[in-house]
Every structure is written in C-alpha cells, then in structure tokens.
Amino acid sequence: MASLFLFTVALSGCSGSPLGYLDATSPIAGAIASLGLGLTAISIAVCIVVGVLLVVALWRGRRAHDLAITPVNDRTAIRWIGFGVAISTVFLVGSAVWTLLTVSSISQPAQASALSIDVIGQEWWWAVKYRSSNPAREFITANQLVIPVGVPVQINLTSKDVIHSFWVPKLGGKMDMIPSRTNVTWLQADKVGDFRGQCSEFCGLQHANMAFNVRVLSKPDFEAWWDRQLLPTAGSGDDPRLKTFLVRCAACHTIRGTPAGGILGPDLSHFGDRETIASGLMTNTPANLAKWINNTQTIKPGVKMPELHMLASEIDDVTTYLEGLK
Amino acid sequence: MTTVQPNMEVTSTRQKLLDIWETAPGLYGWLATVDHKTIGIRYLCTAFFFLVIGGIEALAMRVQLAQPDLKILSPDAYNQLFSMHGTTMMFLYALPMLSGFSNYLWPLMLGSRDMAFPRLNALSYWVFLFAGIFLYISFPLGQAPNGGWFAYVPNTSLEYDPGINMDVFALGLVFLGISTVVGSANFIVTLLRCRAPGMSVNRLPILVWGTLTASAANLLAVPAVSLACAMLWLDRRYGTHFFDVKGGGQPLLWQHLFWIFGHPWVYALVLPAMGIVSDALPVFCRRPLVGYTLVAISTVATMILGFGVWVHHMFATGLPVMSLSFFSAASFIIAIPSAIAVFAWIATIWTGKLQFTTPFLFFTGFIMLFVIGGVSGFMTASVALDWQLTDTYFIVAHLHYVLLGINVFPVVGGLHFWFPKMSGRMMDERLGKWTFWTMFIGFNAAFFPMHVTGLMGMPRRIYTYPADMGVGWLNMLSTLGAFVFAVGVFLFLINVAKSLKSGAPAGDNPWDAPTLEWATTSPPPVYNFATIPQVASRYPLWEDRLKETEERSIIGDAVRDGMVLDKGKETIGVTPLDAEPNVVLKMPGDSILPFLLSVGMTGLFFGLLAQVIWLVALGAVCEFGVLALWLTPEPHAALEEVEIHD
Ligand code: HEM
Ligand SMILES: [Cu+2]
C-alpha cells in the first residue's frame, strides 16, 4: 500500500518532468493521458481488491490449530472464482473498447495538416526538412522542430541508418523511424513553448543522448521564423571566421548560402537559433560550444564528430560565427 | 515377461534395482549419467549460477544509473551489460531453471523411473551448459553481445556493429535452441508415455500442465528465433540480405520473427512457475487447490492466446492501425485466464488452514507481485497508451514484476519446498523467512519506483540521464533496493550451504504433501520407486483423508501385486490420455555420447564463430560419428508388448 502512496506522489510529480506525459499539451497526448489515468485507476483498484482479499484470507487462516486434511466441497468457492472472472472480463472488454475508441480518435487529425515535415533519424541526431509546395521555400535544419500552435502538423519519419523512434511525450506517442520505410505521424500543440523529444528505440552507443527540442510558436511568429530561415545567412565570403569554419568544419556541415555543404553532420544554418547542442545534450551557449568542439568524445563518447584539436583562436572564430547565425 | 513379483523380498528387490540403475562412480559416471535427478539438480545449480551472474551485471548497471550523469560505466560497457543481463536472465536462467524443476520432479510426480529419453535429457543439459559458456566467452574480451537481448537489426548488422559481439549472440542462440527443443520434445513424450498407471490427464499436477504447455510452445516458437539468428549471422558474415535494407531486406522481418518467438517464450517462462505455486501452495493451506480443472484449462488457454499477441511488442512500428487494434484486444483478453488462476489461489488460501512456512510466504508474495505485473501488462496492452509507455522504465518495471514476480519468487519458494526431497534435509526456517522479507522488500524498493520513472518519461536502455528529468532520487531508491534484493539472494545461498551440512533430517514427506514424489525416500533412490505406483486419484497421499473416491492408489515397496520391473532398466509405458499401462519400456543405460555430442557441437560453433574451416569440419565429423554410434540399435532395445493383469 506504500506503493499507492508512491503512485500518487508520482502522478503529481510527473507534471514537472520534461518527458512526463501525463500533463499533456496536445489533443493526442491529452486523449492518451485520460486513457492512461483511467487504466491506472482500474489497475490500482485491482491491486487494492486483490491485496485486501489476500490479507483477509491470510488473517482468517492464521491460527489454524487443526492441520488435518479433511474432505472439501468447493462449489461455493468456484462460484466466487466465476464471479471474480466475470467482473474482470467486463473491465477488460471495457478497457479494450475505450482503447480502440481512443486509437481511432487520434490516428488521424481532425482537419487535414497543411504543414508537412520530414524527420530523418541518424546516429545520434535528427535531420529536419521543411516541405512546401514551393520548392524555393523548402529548407533543412537539425535537432529542433519548430511548429505553429493549434494546427496539426504531419511528420514523415524515416531513418538513415538504424531504427530510431520519434517521441515528444507531451505532444503524443512514439513512432519508429525505420530505414526503407516512411512512417507518418502528426503533432498538434495546444500552447506555445519548448517541449523535449527523445529517441526511444535503442540505437547504439549514444541512444541516451539523442534528444531534440520542439519549439511551438504562435502562427505569426512561425511564419516569420520560416521567412528568416530562407534569408541568406552567410556574412561575406572573406569573413575570416567563416574561412575558419570552411576549413575546419565544412567537410561535414552545411551552412546555406556559403560554400559549406557537408552532409555528414547536422545542417548548421541559423545555429544561433537553436536551444541545444549535440541533440539536446547541452544548452546552446558559446562556452558550451567551445567545449564541445575539442571534446566531442568525452562529452558524447562514440559520437560521429571527431575531436578537432583546434587552436583557441580557431575555436573562438567558429563559436562567434555560429552563435551569430540567428 | 510378467510384471507380477510374488513374495519378493523387499530389500533384495531394492538391491537388484540399485545394481541395474546406479551410475558408475568416478569421472566417467559423472559425465555419462542419465539420471533425471542428477541432471535436474545440475540444471538448477547452473541456472542459479547464471542468475547470480546476471544479477551482478544488473547491480553494475544500477550503480551507473543511481544518479544522473554518472560516468562509472562507458556507454559501450553499459550496452554489453544490459544485453548480457537480458540474454542471461531470459535464456540461461529463467527457462533452464524451470527445466531443472521439471527434470527433477516429473518422473517422481508422475510415478515413473525416468524421462522418456534419458540420453536426450543429458544432451539438453550439456548443450545448455556449453551454449552458456559460448555466450560468455567474449565477455572478458569486452566483445560481448551489445545489441540487446532483442537484437534489433540493422543496429546489429555488420555495418553498425562490426565486432564479433553479435555473432556470438546469433550463434549462441542457435546453439542454445538445440537444447531447448530437445528438452521440450522429451517433456512432451514423457508426459504422453511415462506415467504411472492410472495417472490420467485429469490427475496431473499443475506443474506438469505448465511445463507441458510451455514445451509445446517452445517446439513452435524456438525455431523462429533460431531461424532469425541464422539469417542474421548469414547477413553479417556471408552478405545475404534478409534484413539488409540496401539489398531489399526488411528490418521488420526480424522483429516479427523475434516476437513470434519472444512472446510465447515469456509465457513459457511463467507457466511452469505458476504450476509450482498451484501444486505447492495448497499444501500449506492443508487442502487441494480450488478449481483444479479451471486452472489447468487456463494454463493451456494462456499459451494458445500467447501466440496471438506478439505484435504488442511492435505497437510503435507504424503497422496499420487495424491490425494493431486486433493485437491490442487480444492482449487484453489474455488476462482472463490469468485472472482465473489468481482467484483460484486466493480461494485456496481463503478456505485453507494456513501454515506460514517460508515457501508459503514466497507463494503468497508471488500472488501480489503477479497482480501488480499483471495490471501493468494490462496497461501496456492498450495500444494507444503503449505509444507512451513502450521503451520507458514503465516497461522495465512491468517485465521485472512479471519475470521476478512470477519466475524468481516461485522458483525460490519451490527450492525451499523441494530442497528436503532433493537433499534429505530441511532448510532453516528462520533464515528462510529473513530471505523472503529481504528479497520481497528489496524487490519492491528496486522495481516499484520504475513505474514512476517510466511515467515521468525515462527511456529504457540508456546509460545515463540528465538531472533535470527529476528522476535521480527514484533511481537511487531502485539501486538501493537492488542491493537489498541481492542480499536476500545471498541469504538464500547461505541457507542452502548451511542446511546441506546440518539441516534437520527431512523424512519422506516433511510437509505432508499429496503428490507421488513425496511417497519415496528423500533423497529418492536412483530408480525412484521400487514398485511402480498405481494411481487412483489426483492426490494419492491424501486420498484416505479426502475420501473423494472409493478406489485407492497402490504405492509402496511391499506391494505384492505391484510392478517391480527388475529384469533390466525398465519402466512402464502407458496410453496417452487414460494412462492404461500397455508396454514395458527398456530404458537406455548411462552413456558418454550426449556429452561427446555436445563437445563436438561446441567445436562446430566455435569454428563457425571464428570462421575456422578445419574446426567446423572436425566438429561436424565428430557429430556424425557420435550420432552414428548413438543411433546404432542396441540388442535389447526392442519394445515388448505385455499383458497387464486385470
Ligand atoms: C537484482 C535483480 C535485477 C535487477 C536489479 C535488474 C535490473 C535491470 C536493469 C537496470 C535493466 C536495464 C534496463 C535498461 O537499461 O533498459 C534490466 C533489463 C532487463 N532485465 Fe533485469 N534486473 C534484475 C533481474 C532480472 C531477472 C531475474 C530477469 C529475468 C528473469 C531480468 C530480465 C531483464 C530483461 C529481459 C531486461 C531487458 C534487457 C533489454 O532491454 O534488452 N532481470 N534489468
Ligand atoms: Cu536513436
């Protein structure tokens, strides 16, 4: 029964947690949370009923003096078993029906999604591609999803290497990202804010540190954000800082509007806009970025970005340059 | 021949049987024995050893997870540990442990002298042992399997996992699968043929029902995983494309094959353990189990339904919602037979006169854990809810309540219960109760909080987690609980050691239990029963007091009319359903061949692992040679039809 107490503490505690899904902020997660609370309530009730039955049974039989084996008649006892099983069946069938109703209410959005985003999982980060009917308005970013509040957004999921799973607990359930397949899910946020996402299928060494951020903006802010993404970012071609970046980083990273066009690592255009570094591992500050560049393997062992052994001045260049890309 | 032995002097019969059945002393006898009791005890000890190893791995993981951002284990070490922990517990502890019980107990419970195929029985043990060693061989080199016990492709393909880690896993499971399949076939035939006359199917102990259904399921399920592992290995080493996306392969194929095996498997890990409880709990309630028939049927029903729910491990893979709904509904329905069993146990306690012995504590504790693990399973059966719950610590909590609650607790209770039969000595009750409470409290402290960390969104299979998730203190509690649980296991081992040396002598039937294994001495003679018992009811040793039928079973040495079968290594064969005796089975003697066959197989698998052709060839030749010897008919092996009196 201490367990019940813990459960209650837990349910209230979950609200504070960045990956807790019982305080939902979306129609999908909301429907699942109600179902979850309902089934949890049934579960706790079952534990209490069985616990009480068991304790009473133990109490009744505790002082048996006469341990002789005597003839038994179990007709009544078997009737009680039948009764217990019948009640359980009612609850099981009821829960199954509730589940199926929930599934059908959340498997498709109420209105068609106007916005479609591709998310491609890879060891151990996320590429994000914004779709548009106008190819000139499409662009690629990484490790951060920005979506408008209140409308359904279609998310097309696939993977470049192993299986990952896309999960933003406060906005909805998981969907796997499987190479050679595209799984489609959708997100809809009820309020503006930042929400954490996390890979939830074991994908190798850095599965633990494969997180991302979902930033929900008001409609006008979202439009403005999109327009800003399409602006040329660069700074002029002979900016010495960009030069350092081109020499040291461009083999793997892209910055739109510059010669940097590597595709092995995350796209870094508008890097200054992002909440975190290394897929949710550290907050995006110049100090953290400086630390990251030379210590990738200590900070995120196994990560596919090599330690670059850059000079302090080079690090300074690159950090200042990247953080300036808003 | 005739089975009637009039006026036979009891002691001389026993001597004669002993001469016929006894294993030769020395190393040869040790390697060659086919006595199901010896093999059963070897299974139990080896499986327990693996439980301890898997437990140590778990403790190492728990230390790393005790607080956020710890750096005690590297991610690679953590991945190897959780993979080996899962693999060890599922394959090298949980099922072999139950096989140990069934091996030891079946012939005794069924009133037979041995399993149907004693040599296969020895083979299945040796293969299990060598496959276990095989799976662990790369552990000291830091090259142990590291892709999880579920080994999802493509993460386990050569491209993403280039070491030998997953080759060890794939070949190891194929190797171990041989043991499981051989053992299962043996159980099934034993049940059908090697029972005491009169032990019709409605008189079988529930443990027998549990192991029987589990074995039938294994015969169907294990080939799926052996096949999948062979395909994985071919993909890795010979460039086939079963799962390789670039060659048109399908990663989801692996998941289907794995879970078509995996889900029935988890039922195979619990049904025999539930059988242990159904048979042993009533003894301490001083009455038969309430609803025997219902429980037997629910056992079989669970297993059958168990084949229809594998997709609930794949709710998030993007399969069509329609099919997910079907599997979700089936996963709810499978709880009904479990409910029957739970109510039957509670009714038995309710109507019983209770004896609070150590095994009784383990069995009642089990009922509560079973229910908690059951309701968390009920929550994950809901496809919509599972989209949140899957791959979080909620699942880790669920699977441990199920596996420790329904497997480890009945197993440890069962070891306390049958220890007197196996050793002739009682276990210490005071230490036993300490063991129970330490394990029970430690277990709940370790695993209950995981429900909560799961609801707070902590993903599983992570080697570290950030502090802002707010789960640090809950994880600390889990870690402390795990250590308390480990202390409980240690107390159990101390109790075993102490009781072996100085436990009170047990006598034939210290618990006054009703089934046949308690009718013979503790420990039983190598031939089990001097006279084959004839069974007239479900509870032969209680029937005088239960007064359910007029007929009485005939058990005991001095029976003038009984079947002694002392013309050679023999036992009686019966018809499958009604257990009418219809044949005298000639049992094979001890033999080194099972051991040699396993050694050859080990060579073969090491050859495949190292890709050393001559070793593969040597292993194969050795296999053929041994098999040829094995299959050579023995002069007296033909069955004899017999006239059975009345
Ligand atoms: C002292 C007792 C035990 C402790 C402290 C313990 C702890 C753990 C931990 C920490 C994990 C890793 C979770 C993760 O990273 O996702 C785990 C996984 C697992 N455990 Fe245990 N465990 C114990 C006993 C058992 C037993 C007895 C069994 C089975 C009979 C078992 C079966 C498993 C399985 C199947 C996994 C999943 C591995 C995977 O995800 O591939 N454990 N356990
Ligand atoms: Cu991932």
Q: Which token pair is B220?
A: 């169907």
Q: What is the pLDDT of residue B24?
A: 85
Here the contacts of A80-85 (C-beta below 8 Å, separation 24 or greater) are A80/B343, A80/B347, A81/B290, A81/B291, A81/B294, A81/B340, A81/B343, A81/B344, A81/B347, A84/B339, A84/B343, A85/B336, A85/B339, A85/B340, A85/B343
Mean pLDDT of B558-573: 78
pLDDT in tens, B144-183: 999 999 999 999 999 999 999 999 999 999 999 999 999 9
Closest atom of ligand 1 relative to the B78 alpha carbon: 15
By residue count, chain B amounts to 646
Cα distances (angstroms) measured from residue A129 to each of A234, A269, A279, B306: 20, 13, 16, 42
Alpha helices in B281-423 (DSSP H): 292-306, 321-333, 335-350, 358-381, 383-389, 393-403, 409-423
Confidence check on the interface: ipTM exceeds 0.90, yes or no: yes
Q: Which amino acid is at B557?
A: D
pLDDT in tens, B111-131: 999 999 999 999 999 999 999
Its sign, for the CA torsion B589, B592, B593, B598, is positive
The pocket of ion ligand 2, defined by CB under 5 A, consists of: A 164, 199, 203, 210
Q: Is the pLDDT of residue B490 over 50?
A: yes
Confidence of residue B549 (pLDDT cuts 50, 70, 90): confident
Among candidates B290, B342, B455 on the partner chain, residue whose Cβ is nearest the Cβ of A78:
B290
Q: What is the pLDDT of residue B202?
A: 92
Q: Is A187 helix (H, G, I), strand (E, B) or coil?
A: strand
Q: How far is CA B416 from the centre of its chain?
A: 17
- Confirm if B372 and A2 have CB atoms less than 8 A apart: no
Beta-carbon contacts of A70 under 8 Å, excluding residues fewer than 6 positions away, are B287, B545, B546
* Min Cα–Cα distance to chain B from A282, Å: 10
Tokens 């001097």 sit at which residue? B530
Q: How far is CA B48 from the centre of its chain?
A: 11
CA distance A252 to A262: 4
- Burial of A12 per CB tally in 10 Å (0-12, 13-18, 19+): exposed
User: Is A139 near chain B, with CB under 8 Å?
Assistant: no
- Confirm if A253 and A262 have CB atoms less than 8 A apart: yes
Among candidates B333, B353, B457 on the partner chain, residue whose Cβ is nearest the Cβ of A64:
B353
Q: If residue B483 lies in a helix (H) or strand (E), which one and from where to where?
A: helix B472-502
CA distance B510 to B498: 18
Q: What is the pLDDT of residue B371?
A: 97
Kindly determine whether residue B378 and residue A43, on different chains, have CB atoms separated by under 8 Å.
yes
Q: How many CB atoms lie within 10 A of CB A275?
A: 15
pLDDT in tens, B276-330: 999 999 999 999 999 999 999 999 999 999 999 999 999 999 999 999 999 999 9
Q: Is the pLDDT of residue B3 over 80?
A: no
Beta-carbon contacts of B564 under 8 Å, excluding residues fewer than 6 positions away, are B3, B5, B8, B13, B17, B530, B531, B532
Prior bond of B154 cis (ω within 30°)? yes
Among candidates A20, A43, A88 on the partner chain, residue whose Cβ is nearest the Cβ of B339:
A88
* Cross-strand partners of A155: A117, A185
Which residue's CA is the nearest one to ligand 1's atom 34? B86
Cβ–ligand 1 contact at B400 (below 6 Å): yes
Which among B336, B548, B271, B523 has a CA at the least distance from the CA of B421?
Answer: B523
Least confident residue range of B5-19, B381-395, B460-474, B624-638? B5-19
Mean pLDDT of B470-482: 96
Q: Is B352 helix (H, G, I), strand (E, B) or coil?
A: coil
* Chain A residues 28-47 with a CB less than 8 Å from chain B: 29, 31-32, 35-36, 39-40, 42-44, 46-47
Kindly determine whether residue B455 and residue A199, on different chains, have CB atoms separated by under 8 Å.
no
* Cross-strand partners of A145: A214
Cβ–ligand 1 contact at B396 (below 6 Å): yes
Q: Which amino acid is at B234?
A: L
Cβ–ligand 1 contact at B94 (below 6 Å): yes
Q: Which token pair is A253?
A: 């990273």
pLDDT tens over chain A, length 326 residues: 445 555 555 555 555 688 888 888 899 999 999 999 999 999 999 999 999 999 999 999 888 788 888 888 889 999 999 999 999 999 999 999 999 999 999 988 888 888 999 999 999 999 999 999 999 999 999 999 999 999 999 999 999 999 999 999 999 999 999 999 999 999 999 999 999 999 999 999 999 999 999 999 999 999 999 999 988 765 666 788 888 999 989 999 999 888 888 999 999 989 988 989 999 999 999 999 999 999 999 999 999 999 988 999 999 999 999 988 88
Q: What is the pLDDT of residue B319?
A: 94
Q: What is the pLDDT of residue A62?
A: 83
CA distance B325 to B35: 49
Cα distances (angstroms) measured from residue B598 to each of B120, B181, B304, B595, B610: 11, 14, 32, 5, 18
Cα distances (angstroms) measured from residue A265 to each of B75, B240, B273: 21, 30, 51
Q: How many CB atoms lie within 10 A of CB B434?
A: 18
- Confirm if B534 and A58 have CB atoms less than 8 A apart: no
Q: What is the pLDDT of residue B64?
A: 97
Cβ–ligand 1 contact at B61 (below 6 Å): yes
Chain mean pLDDT for chain B: 93
Which residue's CA is the nearest one to ligand 1's atom 31? B89
Cα distances (angstroms) measured from residue A33 to each of A26, A90, A225, B56: 10, 22, 31, 37
Among candidates A56, A100, A201 on the partner chain, residue whose Cβ is nearest the Cβ of B391:
A201
Q: What is the Å distance from ligand 2's center to A45 Cα?
A: 36
